[in-house]
Amino acid sequence: MLLRHTTDKIVERHALTVNPAKTCQPIGAMYASLGIRGCIPHSHGSQGCYAYHRSTLTRHYKEPVIAATSSFTEGSSVFGGQANLIQAIDNLFTIYSPEVIAVHTTCLSETIGDDIPQIVKKAEAEGKIPKGKYIIHTNTPSYVGSHVTGFSNMTKSMVDYLSQGNGHKEKCINIIPGFVEPSDMEEIKRITSELGIKSIVFPDTSNVLNGPMTGKYKMFPKGGVTVEDLKKTGCSIGTLALGRLASGAAARALDTKCKVPCELLDLPIGLEATDTFIDTLRQVAGVHVPDSINIERGQLLDIICDMHQYFYGKKVGLVGDPDQLISLSKFLISIDMWPVHIVTGTPGKKFEKRIREITKDSPYKVNVKQSGDMFLFHQWIKNEPVDLLIGNTYVKYIARDEDIPFVRFGFPILDRVGHSFFPTVGYRGGMRLLEKILDALLDRKDRDSSETEFELVM
Amino acid sequence: MEEILSQDNSCLAPEELKQEILHKYPVKIARKRAKQIIINKVNDNDVPEIQANVRTIPGIISQRGCCYAGCKGVVLGPTRDIINLTHGPIGCGFYSWLTRRNQTMPKNEKDHNFMTYCFSTDMQEEQIIFGGEKKLKAAIQEAYDIFKPKAIAIFSTCPVGLIGDDVHSVAREMKAKLGINIFAFSCEGYKGVSQSAGHHIANNGIFTHVIGKDDTIREGDYKINLLGEYNIGGDAFEIERLFEKCGITLISTFSGNSSIDQFANAHTADLNLIMCHRSINYVGDMMEKKYGIPWLKINFIGAEATAKSLRKIAQYYGDEKLIDKVESVITEEMPFVEKAINEIKPKTSGKRAMLFVGGSRAHHYQELFKELGMGTISAGYEFAHRDDYEGRKVLPNIVVDADSRNIEELNILPDETRYRPRKNEETIEELKVHGVPIKDYEGMMPTMDENSMIIDDISQYETEKLIEFYKPDIFCAGIKEKYIVQKFGIPMKQLHSYDYGGPYAGFKGAVNFYKEIDRMVNSKVWKYLKAPWQIKTELVAKYVWE
Ligand code: SF4
Ligand code: SF4
């Protein structure tokens, strides 16, 4: 047993987190920044944080993850990091010439209270920011929220710093895709253009963190939303924010700043959430849904009908981020599976309420917790076993110990590929998710059936 | 090796490349980097001075991590039966959770193994404002109630130092209350200039709180400790196998496949072997001073290096029985190695490597590459000090700066009852004359070729330049560099995590490494970088079969 000390006896814990189901804000901010073309994310703090964040993102995406740091030492921690940040800005523009430097704080610089806008102003006054180049920033104290909060904060900063309205509206829709994979952002763009809609997707990590192998390294790949487009977001006719937690703040900021109205939707994971996404797109843009999309929808539905017997009544345990878990739970219920244990590490009471609503018809007692950890999740499973686990790579220890089929989904996935290339959003994404779930369930059935029962056709 | 160095890069002499690199930097930065980029000249073991263990320049994109990573991640992390509790916001604990691939083998199913767990106080805003000691105490109590560990170690992260939580007094209080060993480390990320500070803090802590707590004298001849071996990918298992075969008794390993009881008993050994000089040479020194145990730098990376190291150990004991045993083990193991090298070397000979890792690995792995007939054209460390480059003889000349002064130096005196010099000074001198360099390490640069380029704390930009100019056949670094290098069409081997391969130590490990490098440098993948239409771009006007 790899988690041999986890027993079924649940005791209340108030102070100790064991096997967290979240991580800290800056990594989310770093990920969002990478979705701007020509951007270097910059971590204002000691170099350990950025090394950890880069390593984790690299392990997840298996792609270069570029970022810089202010490299605080003891002195900077006492006297403040102004000198470090100004030097970093100078070096970054001189050596790497990015279009944008996106600064986020760490718990260190937050605790000492460094005032980033003031430091940036000073850098500007000292001529350290070349003409036409930008510095944006966000505050990401890691003792508040989680990596999702960091993503949300940096995305909002893109609006705060760059979006501009000029009074007249372009026939264009902003889409904030949420903390999802590059492949998902790509799929969202594809669906939108399939509908004949012009869109600006931000942040956009497709072609940045799922780039090709060419024999040439480019520090700034072709992907990412351009600064030009970010500016134009203020002139779009509306904004769709996918995932309330990760995308809501930026959408609302855009409404306040440039009077671009917004609509907050669930992440388009699964049949119903995708239906809502496409229906909303259709209505706000006044377009018809093309047959190509209807075919995709029909294909997804077809798989659900064909394989329903294998989904029906199965109990599932889920660990992940709130936006993902909400849509995923809805999807599972729509195919008659029952999520029974649902944990997110990210704080937010609304999450529990939402999940309760979604699972209200469940024949089982549903365990749900925000600010929870995987130790508790595992204990729940020991008390009420499930047929399937869905979560990030760390869940594999539970899956092995308890011998439960497991589908990797969420962040981080450190031990498999595919997530950055093949989407799980949209109808096609739904098809892929179902394929994975079926593979896991049917492989188990194959493994467990007796020689007599072993079937060729399933 | 000379020709390996001059191959292809006739276009630019190392000195010119250095200038070309520096050219891009702002003047002040260039001046600093000039002292950290050195063209090697070896003269009677004398090498040029390199600047190391100095602050990273903000914004240059370095490979380095932090003090906490060195303390919790590297040194304490591999010990399975300690609850390692990170006091801080969630991130640090999360990122150091299982990512270093230290393998461990508990004795039985009941034996404690907390390596798969991540413990944190997950500090919230409230604790940042009002202090986190209360939550820390409660977390220790909860950990004790649920897991009943023998020991709990507390690690401070950046904000903890700033808000002034006294983790050491919390540890003392809870130790008295619970009756188990509880100790804390002030290893806030900003301490020192790299992971190295964390290694030092970790070692001081273990020395103070654990070593010497159990005086049981264990059975066995030739009792040793292995220091600075962290059992990445099972290296320690392979080394343990060899010790056992040779009849050498391993008292403790710091800290691969280790348990806290073994640390407590470590002072009963008669020799300390030092594998990673950077991360742990202090423990060797301190145990020498306090208990009279000499240390010996060894290297089990590479078959030749392994054989040499085993022979040195035997020579240290000077016992015929052991000397013979070691020789027979080497004779037994070598045919397997030779068979592999005969097959592989023709395919790897003449190829060129670059290594930018850690604080000892960039040296150790050069031996393995040599066995493959490969040269190292450039190398450097992520967090080494001058002695790792130039050898311990420079120790008296190293200027202590403010960042190093912040790391506590323990004042060690001989133990009143347990100090027992294992060898007298004369014998030690004699051993040195006979090629057993007790308490010495010659450093990386003297063993590297003339004109090779040594770079301390290499930056992303310098990495790119090196690759463009030298086009090495393989590049060794860490995960952050991996995919950058590979995009250039050059295989990149991670030498911190071994890229999920290994073990690479000892004889069997060497063979694993030969095969791995052969696979990488001779992979077909790199031939497909261009599509046919990118190679032959002219257009054909009509269907060929028309
Ligand atoms: S929790 Fe804070 S100190 Fe730790 S990695 Fe995250 S930002 Fe850095
Ligand atoms: S070789 Fe480097 S990474 Fe490895 S333990 Fe030593 S100092 Fe650390």
What is the tens place of the pLDDT at every residue in B212-228? 999 999 999 999 999 99
DSSP secondary structure of B236-250: HHHHHHHHHHHT-EE
Q: Is B353 a catalytic residue?
A: no
Residue at token pair 């010659």:
B442
Cis before B255 (ω within 30): yes
In the predicted structure, residue B484 carries a pLDDT above the cut 50 = yes
> Measured between beta carbons, which residues in chain A are less than 8 angstroms from residue B58?
68-71, 84-85, 87-88, 91
CB A423 within 8 A of CB A429: yes
Structure confidence at residue A78 (pLDDT): 84
Cis before B503 (ω within 30): yes
For B527, list phi and psi in degrees, rounded to 5.
-80, -15
CB within 8 Å: A96 and B461: yes
At B11, the pLDDT band (50, 70, 90 cuts) reads low
- Cα-based distances in Å from B117 to A19, B98, B230: 6, 8, 18
Structure confidence at residue B2 (pLDDT): 52
User: Two tokens at B546?
Assistant: 């028309």
- Return left, alpha or beta for A257; rule: phi > 0 is left, psi -120 to 50 is alpha, else beta: alpha
What are the pLDDT digits (tens) for B284-323?
A: 999 999 999 999 999 999 999 999 999 999 999 999 999 9
Q: How remote is the CA of residue A68 from the centroid of ligand 2, in Å?
A: 22
User: Two tokens at B436?
Assistant: 């057993």
**How distant is the Cα of B72 from the closest Cα of chain A, in angstroms?**
12
Q: Please tell me which of the candidates A16, A69, A107 has its beta carbon nearest to residue B158.
A: A107
| Cα torsion angle, A83, A87, A90, A96, sign | negative
Strand boundaries in B318-367, DSSP class E: 352-356
CB within 8 Å: B135 and A15: yes
Q: Please tell me which of the candidates A4, A91, A108 has its beta carbon nearest to residue B57.
A: A91
In the predicted structure, residue B546 carries a pLDDT above the cut 80 = no
Residue B526 is given by DSSP the state G
**How distant is the Cα of B271 from the closest Cα of chain A, in angstroms?**
34
User: Two tokens at A132?
Assistant: 């036409």
Q: Which of these is catalytic: B33, B52, B67, B69? A: B69
Which ligand is in closest contact with the Cα of B362? 2
CB B307 within 8 A of CB B281: no
**How distant is the Cα of B165 from the closest Cα of chain A, in angstroms?**
13
CB A409 within 8 A of CB A433: yes
CB within 8 Å: A214 and B26: no
CB within 8 Å: A45 and B118: no
> Measured between beta carbons, which residues in chain A are less than 8 angstroms from residue B192?
73-74
In the predicted structure, residue B246 carries a pLDDT above the cut 70 = yes
Q: How remote is the CA of residue A184 from the centroid of ligand 2, in Å?
A: 38
Which atom of ligand 2 is nearest the CA belonging to B384? 7
At B3, the pLDDT band (50, 70, 90 cuts) reads low
Residue of chain B whose alpha carbon sits nearest to that of A51: B65
Q: Helical H runs in A92-243?
A: 107-112, 116-125, 147-162, 182-194, 227-232
Three-class SS state of B407: coil
CB B204 within 8 A of CB B228: no
Q: Which of A253-267, A409-423, B362-376, B396-410 is predicted least confidently?
A: B396-410
Three-class SS state of A351: helix
Structure confidence at residue B8 (pLDDT): 52
Which ligand is in closest contact with the Cα of A139? 1
Q: Are strands B453-455 and B375-380 parallel, antiparallel or unpaired?
A: parallel
CB A68 within 8 A of CB A99: no
List of residues 6+ apart from B339 with CB closer than 8 A: none
Tens digit of each residue's pLDDT, chain A (458 residues): 999 999 999 999 999 999 999 999 999 999 999 999 999 999 999 999 999 999 999 999 999 999 999 999 988 888 899 999 999 999 999 999 999 999 999 999 999 999 999 999 999 999 999 999 999 999 999 999 999 999 999 999 999 999 999 888 999 999 999 999 999 999 999 999 999 999 999 999 999 999 999 999 999 999 999 999 999 999 999 999 999 999 999 999 999 999 999 999 999 999 999 999 999 999 999 999 999 999 999 999 999 999 999 999 999 999 999 999 999 999 999 999 999 999 999 999 999 999 999 999 999 999 999 999 999 999 999 999 999 999 999 999 999 999 999 999 999 999 999 999 999 999 999 999 999 999 999 999 999 999 999 999 98
How far apart are alpha carbons A341 and A374 in whole angstroms? 11
Give ligand 1 pocket residues (Cβ under 6 A): A 24, 26, 49, 52, 106-107, 142; B 88-89, 91-92, 157-158, 189
Q: Burial of B533 by CB count in 10 Å (0-12 exposed, 13-18 middle, 19+ buried)?
A: exposed
Query: In terms of Cα–Cα distance, which of B325, B224, B321, B344 is closest to B273?
Result: B224
Q: Give the long-range contacts of residues B307-313, CB within 8 A, separation 24 or more.
A: B307/B334, B309/B273, B310/B242, B310/B246, B312/B435, B312/B436, B313/B222, B313/B224, B313/B248, B313/B271, B313/B273
CB A283 within 8 A of CB A190: no
Q: Is B66 a catalytic residue?
A: yes
List of residues 6+ apart from A387 with CB closer than 8 A: A314, A315, A316, A404, A405, A441
Q: Are strands B119-120 and A262-265 parallel, antiparallel or unpaired?
A: unpaired
Q: Please tell me which of the candidates A4, A107, A217 has its beta carbon nearest to residue B89.
A: A107
What distance lies between CA B453 and its chain's CA centroid? 21
Strand boundaries in B110-231, DSSP class E: 119-120, 151-156, 181-185, 223-229
In the predicted structure, residue B39 carries a pLDDT above the cut 70 = yes
Q: How remote is the CA of residue B276 from the centroid of ligand 2, in Å?
A: 6
Q: Provide mean pLDDT across the span B110-120.
A: 97
Query: In terms of Cα–Cα distance, which of B185, B199, B251, B192 is closest to B228?
Result: B199
Residue B249 bridge partners (DSSP): B223
Structure confidence at residue B65 (pLDDT): 96
How far apart are alpha carbons A128 and A91 in whole angstroms? 9
Q: How remote is the CA of residue B220 from the centroid of ligand 1, in Å?
A: 46
Q: Which of these is catalytic: B80, B101, B112, B199? A: B199
How far apart are alpha carbons A176 and A188 in whole angstroms? 10
At B9, the pLDDT band (50, 70, 90 cuts) reads very low
Query: In terms of Cα–Cα distance, which of B486, B199, B465 is closest to A95?
Result: B465
Q: How remote is the CA of residue A142 from the centroid of ligand 1, in Å?
A: 6
List of residues 6+ apart from B336 with CB closer than 8 A: B507, B508, B511
Structure confidence at residue B212 (pLDDT): 97
Buried b / exposed e along A377-416 (16+ C-beta atoms within 10 A): bbbbbeeeebbbbbbbbbbbbbbebbebbbbbbbbbbbee
In this prediction, does ipTM exceed 0.90?
A: yes
Which ligand is in closest contact with the Cα of B100? 2
CB A364 within 8 A of CB A383: no
Residue of chain B whose alpha carbon sits nearest to that of A15: B139
Q: Please tell me which of the candidates B56, B98, B486 has its beta carbon nearest to residue A47.
A: B56
Structure confidence at residue B70 (pLDDT): 97
How far apart are alpha carbons A376 and A387 in whole angstroms? 18
CB A141 within 8 A of CB A107: yes
Helices B361-371 and B303-317 sit at what angle, rounded to 10 degrees?
Answer: 110
Instruction: Please give the helix or strand (H or E) that residue A407 lies within, else none.
Output: strand A406-408
Q: Is B71 a catalytic residue?
A: no
B325 touches ligand 2 (CB under 6 Å): no
Query: In terms of Cα–Cα distance, which of B389, B376, B365, B399 is closest to B456?
Result: B389
What are the pLDDT digits (tens) for B182-216?
A: 999 999 999 999 999 999 999 999 999 999 999 99
**How distant is the Cα of A39 from the closest Cα of chain B, in angstroms?**
14
- Return left, alpha or beta for B234; rule: phi > 0 is left, psi -120 to 50 is alpha, else beta: left
Which atom of ligand 2 is nearest the CA belonging to B382? 2
Structure confidence at residue B253 (pLDDT): 98
DSSP secondary structure of A274-312: HHHHHHHHHHHHT-PPPHHHHHHHHHHHHHHHHHHHHHT
Q: Is B69 a catalytic residue?
A: yes
Residue at token pair 């942040």:
A203
B466 touches ligand 2 (CB under 6 Å): no
Q: How remote is the CA of residue A411 from the centroid of ligand 1, in Å?
A: 17
CB within 8 Å: B90 and A146: yes
CB within 8 Å: B127 and A51: no
Q: Whose CA is nearest to atom 8 of ligand 1?
A: A49
| Cα torsion angle, B505, B510, B515, B516, sign | positive
Structure confidence at residue A104 (pLDDT): 98
